Structure 1
Amino acid sequence: MNYFSLSSNALLLAFILLLVAIIPFGFATKTRHAASWKMALALTWLAFISQMVYFVARWRAVGHAPVSNMYEFMTFFGIMLIGAVLLISSLYKQWSIAFFAIPIALIILGYGSVFSNKAMPLIPSLQSHWLAIHVITVAASSAILSVAFITSVMYLLKTAKARSIKWLEFVMFQLVVVVGFILISTFCQLFLNPQTVKFTNKEGGTELATYILPIITSNHAETGLFMLSNSIDAKKLNTIVWSFLVGGVLYLVIRLVVRKTFCELLKPFTLRMDLKLLDEISHRAILIGFPLFSLGGLFFAMIWAQIAWGRYWGWDPKEVWALITWLFYAALLHLRLTKEWEGERTAWLAIIGFGLIVFNQVFVNLVIAGLHSYA
């Protein structure tokens, strides 16, 4: 059996099923139509099963837990998010959470698909059973904490006043920017040829840089619209510029078509929701996700670091930001339990916490050089 082909087809099927499930979920969230709930749930469960088929087939194809690169990790993150939403929604009988969660999962899956899905041999430090233990635990905990982000957004959509809505709209804009990155990257990979240019690095040597996206910023005088100094990585900045350009245009087009902000567009889907229950779900998700992150992101990580590099802690950027994320959620729980913070304040903290998770899993992996870099 061609397990690579099976895994790719299963993941594509899951993506399509989730995309279709948004429609009956949206209708059921506004109308409480029982048949729509059943159809949406059936599609979501089929998508989750298809995702698990991808994971098992990919594992068989590569011979190790498929969480060793950016494509595999983000894909597994998306799988765990759907699993976490199905679990928590079934416990609280609040299936409307899935209507808001599925688009986030699709963005995560789409983001992962931008990176190469080719199987590469593991470097020596990754050739350990701790790869599966550490990374799978981190992905699972991040997915559960992401549920807190989703329910917090739902809470704020229903309650936030004008000033808070502006900041919430900014969060929506950032999600659109990620979609812009996915769209422009996919388009260029399908229809444009990569460009390779020479540039002088910080040490004065000559290097080659391959640009997937059309060159706007460059370290080479003969290419790009803007010449940058060698102290700035023009290739990475070029990707950021394109993401904001395409994402900004996409955001404006949607605004012009619907003549509403994203918050105004989504607010009607929150009218039937219980605020106390949303706040409770967010709190419970953090109570579950935080100790799991403590295990995977710190405890298991330090054990693996000792085995791979001979030290438990080395102030690597990934380690530092994992600690910052852990301290932030510890402070959030402290404020909730001792200062009785709840509602809008803890909702914003949960959103910031999700931002830290995304920063740690994406920006630190790809932009900041370190031992954990997926670049």
Structure 2
Amino acid sequence: MNAILYFVTLGLYLTATIIYLAYLVKPQPALAKASRWVIYGGFLLHSLFTLARYYEGGRTPITNLHESLSFFSLAIVGVFIVFERKYKVTILGSFVIPIALVLMSISMLFPMGIAPLNPALKSKWLVVHTVVAFLGYASFTVAFGAGIMYLIQERFLKQRKLGAMYQKLPSLDKLDDINYRCLTFGFPLLTLAIISGAIWAETAWGTYWSWDPKETWSLITWFVYAALLHGRLTTGWRGRKAAILAIAGFFVLLFTFLGVNLLLSGLHTYK
């Protein structure tokens, strides 16, 4: 049953990606409506898949790379739906939903079976730490999509090529506001994830901080987004600079999440 839910969800995300890309080429109300219903259906089935694994394994399904990639994808879709409904920007899905699809697809490369829980992960902090971290990551992913759109739209304006693509994309002000709202939503969550992780580390390993590769790169990620938020609040960073930093921050985040697990070894390496 779990496998069926997983592959149907993957199929719906693939379908949604195709529709969103078609909408990018030719924005039509019918495509916007279809993409919305397909991604809602995908999110619902993905949530059911996650709940099914929870009940089967008796734990939050977020303790290995297959589960983490799947949950990251679910979080991205969920946060995207919130921002899409708030800002009425269907085309944002053309830049965000493909990322969720790629992450979900990569999760197939790792064992899908429900393995016994690592003793270090048996803690009440598991849910708090991981869920808030992935919600923060998902927010930054949406900011990445908005940042890409901002740079494209700005390029059209500078070159005065106000053609079909320019008409399809939202205004620079709206894209900058989405970027900012994602940052103000994601940064406190990332901060809470690091704090809860430190408390969890003390109970599991007897120290709040050990400069494990995951801890180090999480701190680097936090500093990147802290710099962006500080710049926006104190020196008025907006527009292009904020978009570029949101894009750069996303790549740092990806390395923190995936690169550290695959390339570096440490206490947080679970595959």
Q: Does TM-score exceed 0.5, indicating one fold?
A: yes
Letter in 2 for 1:322: S
Match of 1:219 in 2: none
> SS of 1:122's equivalent?
coil
Instruction: For 1:153-168, list aligned pairs within 5 A.
Output: 153-160=148-155
Letter in 1 for 2:101: L
Match of 1:97 in 2: 92
State the distance in 1 between where 2:169 and 2:93 align: 15
Deviation per CA, 1:264-306: give whole Å up to 9, x if none.
xxx938744211101110111011000011001x111011011
Aligned-residue sequence identity (percent) comes to: 35
Deviation per CA, 1:346-369: give whole Å up to 9, x if none.
111001100111000111112111
C-alpha contact 1:157 1:270 (8 A) present in aligned 2: no
User: Is 1:299 aligned with 2:189?
Assistant: no
Instruction: For 1:65-214, list aligned pairs within 5 A.
Output: 65-160=60-155
Letter in 1 for 2:83: I
Deviation per CA, 1:89-127: give whole Å up to 9, x if none.
101111211121111111111111111112111121111
C-alpha contact 1:29 1:269 (8 A) present in aligned 2: no
Moved more, 26-35 or 8-17: 26-35
User: Is 1:309 aligned with 2:183?
Assistant: no
- In structure 1, list runs of 5 or more residues that go unmatched: 1-5, 162-266
C-alpha contact 2:137 2:253 (8 A) present in aligned 1: yes
Q: Which has the larger radius of gyration?
A: 1
Q: What displacement does 1:77 show?
A: 0.1
TM-score by length of 1: 0.68
- In structure 2, list runs of 5 or more residues that go unmatched: 157-163
Aligned residues: 264
Instruction: For 1:244-259, list aligned pairs within 5 A.
Output: none
User: Is 1:362 aligned with 2:266?
Assistant: no
Letter in 2 for 1:146: T
State the distance in 2 between where 1:143 and 1:8 align: 24
Equivalent of 1:55 in 50, 58, 70: 50
Equivalent of 1:343 in 219, 223, 239: 239
In 2 relative to 1, CA 269–85 (structure 1 residues): closer, same or farther, beyond 3 Å? farther
C-alpha contact 2:137 2:190 (8 A) present in aligned 1: yes
State the distance in 1 between where 2:226 and 2:85 align: 27
State the distance in 2 between where 1:96 and 1:68 align: 33
Deviation per CA, 1:135-177: give whole Å up to 9, x if none.
111111101111000110111122248xxxxxxxxxxxxxxxx
C-alpha contact 1:366 1:374 (8 A) present in aligned 2: no
Match of 2:4 in 1: 9
In 2 relative to 1, CA 302–276 (structure 1 residues): closer, same or farther, beyond 3 Å? same
State the distance in 1 between where 2:199 and 2:111 align: 29
Richer in strand (by share): 1
Q: What displacement does 1:24 show?
A: 3.2
State the distance in 1 between where 2:268 and 2:182 align: 27
User: Is 1:320 aligned with 2:232?
Assistant: no
> SS of 2:117's equivalent?
coil
C-alpha contact 1:160 1:344 (8 A) present in aligned 2: no
Richer in helix (by share): 2
Q: CA RMSD in A?
A: 1.6
Letter in 1 for 2:77: I
Letter in 2 for 1:277: K
State the distance in 2 between where 1:99 and 1:270 align: 15
C-alpha contact 1:26 1:269 (8 A) present in aligned 2: no
C-alpha contact 1:158 1:270 (8 A) present in aligned 2: no
State the distance in 2 between where 1:330 and 1:127 align: 31
Q: What displacement does 1:130 show?
A: 1.4
State the distance in 1 between where 2:252 and 2:167 align: 26
User: Is 1:288 aligned with 2:185?
Assistant: yes
Q: What displacement does 1:30 show?
A: 4.7
State the distance in 2 between where 1:88 and 1:310 align: 40
